[in-house]
């Protein structure tokens, strides 16, 4: 009991290679992981080289080849339940799905079926479709790690968030476009 897997030498698939996806890639390379990513646009070669990351244009290929799939993209019409029964079926039986982005990226019913039937290795979640309500079926599983949407819950993280809000207000008050402007159509 209480055994896990060594992550060194494993293939990490990052879906969404923005600021957070890149931070995950930097940390993962320190553990000796091979890093692959899928994104709307391929990163510049210098950035890929610095992250030791390889672009995979076909999302299904990334999902079927990687040992760990980590989600870091926004919830949009295109990404809604992008991890569905078909894609979960393409994962290796030993693969893990990690979602710290948005709950609606994953079809939870399909994931629960796969986890209950041990079709994939496991899942780690910090976000859920019906937050703050978590589907009670997750609690009965031994192959999941569930957190209460607290991935950014540090003193430093909360202080930095507050500072960004103040910066955005100041920039807007000075008549400029805020650096963290929310655009229509983005969730």
The catalytically annotated residue of 49, 131, 159, 163 is 131
Helix (H) or strand (E) holding 36: strand 34-38
Q: Which of 38, 72, 102, 108 is catalytic?
A: 102
Whether 149 is a known active-site residue: answer yes
75 catalytic? Reply is: no
Which residues fall within 8 angstroms of residue 139, CB to CB, at 6 or more apart? Answer: 146
- Stated length of the chain: 187
Hey, what are 85's tokens?
Answer: 């029964």
Q: Give the pair of three-digit tokens for residue 117.
A: 């039937």
Handedness of CA 84, 77, 149, 155 (dihedral sign): positive
**E strand or H helix that includes residue 71:** strand 68-71
Helix (H/G/I), strand (E/B), else coil: 139: helix
User: Residue 96 corresponds to which tokens in the numbers above?
Assistant: 């893990």
Q: For residues 58-70, b (16+ Cβ closer than 10 Å) or e, as one string?
A: ebeebbebbbbbb
Helices and strands in the chain, H and E counts: 6, 7
DSSP state of 6: -
Per the annotation, the verdict on 170 as an active-site residue is: no
Residues serving a catalytic function are 102, 131, 149
């Amino acid at each position: 009991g209480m055994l896990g897997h060594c992550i060194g030498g494993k293939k990490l698939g990052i879906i969404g290679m923005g600021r957070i996806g890149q931070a995950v890639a930097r940390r993962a390379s320190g553990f000796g992981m091979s890093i692959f990513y899928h994104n709307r646009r391929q990163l510049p070669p210098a950035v890929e080289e610095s992250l030791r990351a390889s672009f995979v244009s076909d999302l299904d290929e990334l999902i079927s080849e990687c040992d760990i799939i980590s989600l870091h993209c926004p919830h949009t019409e295109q990404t809604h339940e992008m991890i569905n029964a078909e894609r979960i079926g393409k994962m290796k039986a030993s693969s893990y799905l990690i979602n710290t982005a948005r709950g609606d990226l994953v079809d939870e019913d399909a994931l629960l079926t796969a986890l209950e039937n041990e079709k994939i290795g496991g899942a780690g979640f910090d976000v859920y479709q019906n937050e703050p309500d978590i589907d009670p079926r997750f609690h009965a599983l031994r192959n999941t790690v569930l957190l209460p949407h607290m991935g950014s819950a540090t003193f430093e993280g909360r202080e930095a968030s507050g500072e960004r809000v103040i910066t955005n207000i100041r920039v807007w008050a000075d008549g400029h476009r805020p650096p963290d402007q929310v655009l229509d159509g983005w969730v």
